[in-house]
Structures are given as structure tokens and as C-alpha cells.
């Protein structure tokens, strides 16, 4: 087990529906990570932006981006995670990928498709929560709109890190900050949100505001809005366990069932 987990937030602009350009841009950014890290987190739909034209940008699970992620994870000796558009069995998914340094791959299909943008009509919602075991840490990855649904992210698995990859626009950025902090506090977990910047072809503006909180809701990141940048944050398992042992809030959590 690793006591410290070094995660890297990649807050970046995205070229609209341009997979190759986004892979090139992200390759340059990731190469600029000068220290050894354990996990690199990219935004939602990092090869395309939040598009409602999945046919134009979709890939398969043997496509170019999967190959690129696998090679990059091996080169950096770090896990890499983010979501892309996947076509499978004639259906489209907003699929989060978690690629281990050895090339092993875990996936999570966004459970809550964004009705306001019509995502629910074009993409198939997932039904399975993913808990990743990595270096002695239990990690729960989710996608954007999932953040608004606390029951789905409830920490019944004793995970240590909850993170969301997103294309969360400027008009609702206050909700982004507030909900991430709430998820950290109620789940007694580190909680990280990785959001894009820039303006997409639908004229939606994104300010980033990527952020990380500890299990008591204290902000532990320094990344600024609008910056095209990366930030490395060190999480401490020892500190997390100490906090949980002291307050024991998770022992009083309610039992529930998701239908």
C-alpha cells in the first residue's frame, strides 16, 4: 500500500470534435509533468468536448485513443483517467477510462446522462458503479452530471478518493464548487473535480475551477480558473484514516438501495 498518492489535475482547453489535435495537445501537457506521479486525471470527453454528435467522434475499445492512453500510461508509469465517446453494439457511451501503468483498463459508463443537453437521447446510461483498487487506494471515478446525485456516489465501499471529470459551464460553476465540497464532507473522502476551460462550438464557456478537497471539505488545491495548466496534489492515506477514526461519521451512514 502507498501512503501518499500523487494525483495530477489536467485543466485544459479542448479542440472541438478534433480527436487528433486533443491527443497532441494533451501529450505535450502530460510530458511537462516533471515529477513522478501516480494518477493523471483528464476532463470529460477530452478528445472532443461535450458534443451531442457522437457519430462524428466515437471510437471503439480498440481505437486510437485507447492505444494512446495505454502507451502514455506506460511511459509516465502512472495511471491515466478521463472520458471519451465510445461506440459499442450500435450504442454510444460517455465512457470513463481508467488505464493502469501496466496497460490494464477499467471502465465506467456515465450513469446520469445530461437531459438538459439531450445527452439522454443520444448516449446510453451506465448502471454499474466502479471502484478501482490502485496502490492500496480505493478510487471511485464519476462523470460530470453524476455530481448532482449524492445517492449514487454514497460511500458504501469505504473508498478513499472520489473524482469527477467534467465539462461544467460557467453559469453553474458555483454549484460545481459547492457540490464537490459536499461530496467530500458527506463521504469522508478526498474529492477532486477536473473541469475544462475555453469556449466550445455551442458557445458555452468553461472556466475550469478544477479543485480538490480533503475529507473535511478543506480545499487542498491551488489551481486557478481559466488557466491552461496542470497541478500535482499529494493525498495522504494516513491523514485520511486519522480523520475517519477521529470522527467516525461513516459508521452512522444510512443504508439504502438504488432502484
User: Residue 180 belongs to a domain with what CATH number?
Assistant: 3.60.110.10
Is residue 95 domain-resident?
yes
Active site residue 44: yes
- Domains in the chain: how many in total? 1
Q: What are 118-140's pLDDT values in tens digits? A: 999 999 999 999 999 999 999 99
Which is catalytic among the residues 17, 144, 181, 191? 144
Q: Which residue has the higher pLDDT, 201 or 2?
A: 201
Is residue 259 domain-resident?
no
Res 179: pLDDT: 98
Q: How confident is the model at residue 232 (pLDDT cuts 50, 70, 90)?
A: very high
Mean pLDDT of the chain: 97
In order of 6, 39, 73, 160, 221, the CA distances from 135 in angstroms are 11, 10, 15, 12, 22
Active site residue 140: no
Burial class of residue 172 in the structure, from the number of CB atoms within 10 Å of its CB (0-12 exposed, 13-18 middle, 19+ buried) = exposed
What is the extent of the structural domain holding 88?
A: 4-252
Output phi, psi for 117, to 5 deg. Answer: -100, 0
Is residue 61 domain-resident?
yes
In the chain, alpha helices (H): 19-31, 54-57, 64-76, 119-122, 150-153, 173-187, 237-247
Mean pLDDT of 224-235: 98
Res 129: pLDDT: 98
Mean pLDDT of 163-172: 98
Which is catalytic among the residues 76, 106, 110, 237? 110
Is residue 21 domain-resident?
yes
Q: What are 170-194's pLDDT values in tens digits? A: 999 999 999 999 999 999 999 999 9
Res 19: pLDDT: 98
Residue 1, pLDDT > 90, answer: no
Is residue 232 domain-resident?
yes
Is residue 92 domain-resident?
yes
Residue 259, pLDDT > 80, answer: no
Q: What are 46-97's pLDDT values in tens digits? A: 999 999 999 999 999 999 999 999 999 999 999 999 999 999 999 999 999 9
Is residue 257 domain-resident?
no
Active site residue 222: no
Res 258: pLDDT: 76
Cβ–Cβ < 8 Å for 4, 35:
no
Is residue 75 domain-resident?
yes
Res 255: pLDDT: 82
Q: How confident is the model at residue 254 (pLDDT cuts 50, 70, 90)?
A: confident
Q: Where are the beta strands (DSSP E) in 19-136?
A: 39-41, 79-88, 91-99, 105-109, 132-134
Residue 256, pLDDT > 80, answer: no
3-state SS, residue 152: helix
Q: What is the pTM of this model?
A: 0.98
Name the percent of the chain lying above pLDDT 70.
Answer: 100
Mean pLDDT of 14-28: 98
Q: How confident is the model at residue 11 (pLDDT cuts 50, 70, 90)?
A: very high
Amino acid at each position: 500500500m502507498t501512503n501518499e498518492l500523487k494525483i495530477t489535475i489536467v485543466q485544459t482547453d479542448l479542440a472541438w470534435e478534433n480527436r487528433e489535435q486533443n491527443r497532441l495537445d494533451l501529450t505535450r501537457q502530460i510530458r511537462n509533468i516533471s515529477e513522478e506521479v501516480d494518477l493523471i486525471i483528464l476532463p470529460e470527453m477530452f478528445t472532443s468536448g461535450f458534443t451531442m454528435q457522437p457519430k462524428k467522434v466515437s471510437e471503439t475499445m480498440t481505437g486510437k485513443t485507447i492505444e494512446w492512453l495505454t502507451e502514455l500510461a506506460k511511459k509516465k508509469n502512472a495511471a491515466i483517467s478521463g472520458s471519451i465517446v465510445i461506440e459499442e453494439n450500435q450504442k454510444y457511451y460517455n465512457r470513463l477510462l481508467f488505464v493502469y501503468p501496466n496497460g490494464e483498463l477499467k471502465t465506467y459508463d456515465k450513469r446520469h446522462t445530461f437531459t438538459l443537453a439531450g445527452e439522454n437521447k443520444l448516449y446510453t446510461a451506465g448502471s454499474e458503479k466502479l471502484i478501482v483498487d490502485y496502490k492500496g487506494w480505493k478510487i471511485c471515478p464519476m462523470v460530470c452530471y453524476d455530481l448532482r446525485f449524492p445517492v449514487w456516489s454514497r460511500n458504501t465501499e469505504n473508498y478513499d478518493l472520489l473524482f469527477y471529470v467534467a465539462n461544467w459551464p460557467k453559469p453553474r460553476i458555483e454549484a460545481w464548487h459547492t457540490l464537490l465540497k459536499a461530496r467530500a464532507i458527506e463521504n469522508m473522502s478526498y474529492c477532486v473535480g477536473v473541469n475544462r476551460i475555453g469556449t466550445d462550438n455551442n458557445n458555452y464557456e468553461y472556466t475550469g475551477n478544477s479543485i480538490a478537497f480533503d475529507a473535511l471539505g478543506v480545499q487542498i488545491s491551488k489551481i486557478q480558473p481559466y488557466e491552461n495548466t496542470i497541478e500535482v496534489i499529494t493525498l495522504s492515506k494516513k491523514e485520511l484514516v486519522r480523520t475517519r477514526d477521529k470522527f467516525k461519521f461513516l459508521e452512522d451512514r444510512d443504508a439504502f438501495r438504488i432502484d
